[in-house]
Structure 1
C-alpha cells in the first residue's frame, strides 16, 4: 500500500472532486459535523467549535503521514467547498485490507453523491493501494449507509456485538466487506449492460 505522504491523489468523478482537506476547510467541516443527524452514527459527539474541526483535520493528516489511511474531502466540481469526506483507515498492509468511512452534509443526502464518492475511492484503493479487502463497520440503525455499501457490492458478514464504546455507550456494528474480485466482477458486468 503506497500512500505517498508528499503527494495527495485528487480524484474526479462526473460531479465531484475528491481532494485533500486543509485547515482552510475547518468552517465547512464544522458546518456539517456539528449537525446531530450527520453525527448520529459517527461515533463522536456533534462538533461545537472550530477547534473540533481542526482536530479532525489533524487526524486526517496523521493517518496519511503514518500510512494507516487517507481521507478525501468531497466537493462539488462547480463549488469546491467540502460537503463531506470519505476515505480509508486502519490499513493493515500485511493483510492487504482496510476500513472505509464516509459522511456527507445533510443538504446533500439523497442525491447519490456519497455513493459516487465512495465508488471512486474504492476503485482507487484497489487499483493504486493494493487492497484486496475493504471493510465497512456500520451500526444496525444506520440503514442509509448499509444500503449504500450494499449497492456497491459489499456483503454483510455478521454482527460484532458491543464492538465500540462511543458517546458513553457500547455499539454493535455490522461487518461488511468487499473483495477486489467481487468489485471488479460487479462493475465490469454493470458496464457491459
Structure 2
C-alpha cells in the first residue's frame, strides 16, 4: 500500500464532512437519488460534464451505485454538495484519476442549474483544493473543461488554476467541435 492510498483511506470521512460558508459536503447516499437525478437528468447540466444524461431515476440509481463502488475501491472520492440553508443536495464533488507516483489528482464538480452563478462552485473547488493539499498532501490538482463551459472555467480561475494546455476539437457535442481546456494548480510553497 503506497502513501497516497493510505492517506485516502484515513481521509475519506473528512472529505465527506468538509464545510464552507454556504455549502457542506456529505457522503453520497442512495436516498438522495431523486435530488441527484434532478440535475443528472438536465441536458444543460450533462452537456459539458462527462456524465451521460440520466433519463430515468433507475439510471441515476445505477450511476450512484457505480460511484460508491469506485469510492470503496479507493480510486475516487465523491461527496454530495449540500446547501446549508436548506439542506438540499445541489451538486456532486469529485476527486479522481489519482497519480500515486506524481502525487496529483483531477477534480470535478456538477451543480443543479438553478444554483449556477451563485458562488457555490467556487466555494466547492476551494474546499476540495484545501482538502487535497492539506489533508492528502498532494503536489498538484488538475481539471479538464469543455471550452464552452465558461462558468466552470471562471470557477477554476477564481481558485488559482492556470491554463496548461488546449486540445483542439477534442469534444464533439450536439453537432459541434469544442476544445478541451487543461488547467492546473500547484500546492503553495
TM-score range, shorter-chain basis?
A: 0.7 to 0.9
The question of 1:49 aligning with 2:36 is answered no
- Give the Å deviation of 1:171: 5.5
- Give the Å deviation of 1:95: 0.9
Structure-1 residue corresponding to 2:96: 89
Q: How does 1:98-137 map to 2 (within 5 A)?
A: 98-137=105-144
The question of 1:62 aligning with 2:69 is answered yes
Q: CA RMSD in A?
A: 2.3
Segments of 5+ residues of structure 1 without an aligned counterpart are: 185-193
- Range with greater deviation from structure 2 (165-174 or 128-137): 165-174
CA distance in 2, matches of 1:108, 1:143: 15
The normalised TM-score by structure 2 is: 0.87
Segments of 5+ residues of structure 2 without an aligned counterpart are: none
- Range with greater deviation from structure 2 (122-131 or 49-58): 49-58
- Give the Å deviation of 1:45: 3.5
Cα distance change, pair 6–58 in 1 and its aligned pair in 2 (3 A): farther
CA distance in 1, matches of 2:20, 2:135: 17
Give secondary structure in 1 for the equivalent of 2:101: helix
Contact residue 47 and residue 173 of structure 2 kept, 8 A: no
1:132-175 superposed Cα distances (whole Å, 9 cap, x missing partner): 11001001111111111011100111112455678898763111
